[in-house]
Structure 1
Amino acid sequence: MDKHRIYTTSVASVYPHYVTKAEKKGRTKKEVDTIICWLTGYSQEELNTHLEKKTDFETFFTEAPHLNPSRTLIKGVVCGVRVENIEEPIMREIRYLDKLIDELARGKAMEKILRKS
């Protein structure tokens, strides 16, 4: 089976859409960055480097320093598919990120988005 085209899409090309989606709902770029860093373990500097290098999604998640173990608590539907049921690991990570950005745009508190008790 061929890989989905999102794997070869650069994170930098989608990132502005994440920020725009958040800002339209009164949230900030800093909150988007916080979510991405929480999910992947990248520092802000490392995230900025990947955006500058136009790293593709597959590489971005494959090379992530520390995928947050609490990400498995992310549940729900993105693009008509339950994220917890996605079997392909990289696609599941991409959809986790989509789901977190959706939660941010819907006004959910950061503590809940970042799955803090």
Structure 2
Amino acid sequence: MKISTHEGIDQSLCGEPLEVNAGTSTVRLLCLPSMAADDSGLIHGGFIFGLADYAAMLSINHPNVVLGAADTRFLKPSRVGDTLIARAQDQTPEDRKHLVQVDVSCNDDVVFSGTFTCFVPQKHVLSKE
């Protein structure tokens, strides 16, 4: 499926789409040394959240989609060198308000889980029209 949203995103920071279908997406992120919060190699949670947010946006795949809220949990730490896979599922397709469940895994372990409340306004949020 053609990607219709967040086309300018830096995929090295937010992940590379592996699959984008109506109501679902799968995105992969390689945890780079530049994402480390400290000398132990702990990945800053903002990068994991960004990956999950991007997966949520892709599951809706509308040019105007925006995040309104998120209820999230960091379940396990991620480290430099980890490959994270985010899987998003739109629970309320075809509405202007979407609830998207996103789970982020490293190997067989879920490291992050959340419900993202997304909206599709009629115009882009920065539109002056």
TM-score by length of 1: 0.25
TM-score by length of 2: 0.24
Higher relative contact order, chain-length normalized (CA < 8 Å, sep 6+): 1
Give the greater-gyration-radius structure (CA).
2
Q: Which has the higher strand share?
A: 2
